[in-house]
Amino acid sequence: MTSSAVPAIIITGFLGTGKTTAIQHLMKQKPSHERWAILINEFGQIGMDEQLLSPGVSQKSGIFTKEVPGGCMCCTSGLPMQIALNMLIAKSKPHRLIIEPTGLGHPKEVIETLSSEYYQEVIKLALVATLVDPRHFHQDKYLSHETFRQQLSIADVIIANKSDLCEESDHIALRQFLDHEIHQDLPVICSEQGQISLEDVKLYARAKVEPPIQPLNIDEPKPTLISTPVTSRVLKNNRLSPIPAEANRNLQEPTNWPEEGYIFAKNTAENYFSYGYRYPYECLFNQKVLQDFFDAIQAIRVKAIIRTEQGFIQINRAYDTLSTHKTTPLKESRLEFITEQPIASELLNLLQEAVTS
């Protein structure tokens, strides 16, 4: 491990625990002289989290993001993560790296990738923080879920988020489960609305790793990061090789919108179902009708940035908790929602009633 190795923080947790919100709070604490790289993995296919973080992201701010939509970025060959990570490092030359795996992904595979020989001289895993909603520790569907348990087992610290919505019995259930099912020494920090401290991140780090004084310079000799031959843009011999157009086809801006007037994508894994939509800027949404639609389909998770008559609105819903606020305008509207049951096409079509123009 060299002194130029970038400390990496993994922010994991199940669906709706507040991972993206926690990263937003960390972004506000970034030292002005540092450059941060944030790699985001989403269960949905549309790509929402990078849009949610975008108001604080720019070269001027020193924060760079890269998104891998469509499920666990480390499954099968792990190439989606490696390609995205290498491109992000090449662009940002970061002092610190933050990774947010999907709430239904396998964080052990992310750790294995970061710990591989290809990244030994580049990245040092500093901390795994797992966000939880203490109310979930009364429900067997979470406690028996393999991914939920794995997220706890690999943690250096547990962030008990949404503590303002919890009863004392919820925190007791959390502590008892950790003591009996995981291990007794696992520290727990209580948090509200994803507010976590960068100082806490440093306090619970598995190794006291400080950001390099000089950011990683890929123009200097570095080891090959991916040895498997792939047609992609990767850091190899300090040069960026071409990446095929199809590698980013889901993220490209459409040159022509489909005849139906929107782009639709869906995904399914571990008995959860995601549905994503993109609408052109010209479309306006009725927020009340849209909320009624989310109630009708029993969405457990909603992320949306939509254009309304009042301007662009960000919607964030996890189970029964809803927040909305005005946000920076985008070139289009996007929304993604997750359910525990597949939605019939007839019910999905009701979404179009919320589009007023």
Q: Structurally, how many domains does the chain consist of?
A: 2
Mean pLDDT for 70-85 is 73
**CATH value at residue 88:** 3.40.50.300
| pLDDT value at residue 59 | 66
Asked whether residue 79 falls in the same domain as residue 216, the answer is: yes
List Cα–Cα distances, 306 to 293, 330, 332, in angstroms: 14, 9, 8
Query: Which of residues 81 and 232 earns the better pLDDT score?
Result: 81
- pLDDT for res 14: 94
Higher pLDDT, 233 or 252: 252
Judge if 152 and 289 occupy the same domain: no
54-68, 78-92, 148-162, 324-338: least confident range:
54-68
Residue 235 phi, psi dihedral angles, 5° rounding = -80, 105
Distance CA 169, CA 167 (A): 5
pLDDT tops 80 at residue 354: yes
β-pairing, 63-68 vs 188-190, is: unpaired
Q: Same domain, yes or no, for 43 and 165?
A: yes
**Do 158 and 204 share a structural domain?**
yes
Instruction: Among 118-122, 198-202, 258-262, 284-288, name the most confident range.
Output: 284-288
CA distances from 349 to 15, 183, 198, 296, 315 (A): 25, 47, 44, 12, 20
Q: pLDDT value at position 233?
A: 34
Distant-in-sequence, close-in-space partners of 18: CB < 8 Å, separation ≥ 6: 131, 133, 161, 162, 191, 193, 194, 318
Distance CA 50, CA 66 (A): 7
Domain annotation covers residue 256: no
CATH of the domain at 272: 3.30.1220.10
Contacts of 151 (CB under 8 A, 6+ apart): 12, 13, 14, 107, 130
Cα 351 vs. chain centroid, distance in angstroms? Answer: 25
Q: Which of 55-69, 188-202, 230-244 has the highest mean pLDDT?
A: 188-202
Examine the domain organization and report whether 158 and 217 are in the same domain: yes
Check pLDDT > 70 for residue 117. yes
pLDDT tens digits for 268-323?
A: 888 899 999 999 999 999 999 999 999 999 999 999 999 999 999 999 998 888 88
Distance of CA 267 to the CA centre of its chain: 16
The answer to whether the CB of 336 falls within 8 A of the CB of 276 is yes
Distance CA 106, CA 12 (A): 10
Of residues 113 and 243, the one with the higher pLDDT is 113
Pairwise CA distance, residues 128 & 157, whole Å: 7
What pairing do the DSSP bridges indicate for beta strands 36-41 and 96-100?
A: parallel
Is 192 contained in some domain? yes
Owning domain of residue 224 = 6-246
Average of per-residue pLDDT values in the chain: 83
Q: In what order do the strands lie in the sheet with 321-326?
A: 263-269, 272-280, 332-339, 301-308, 311-318, 321-326
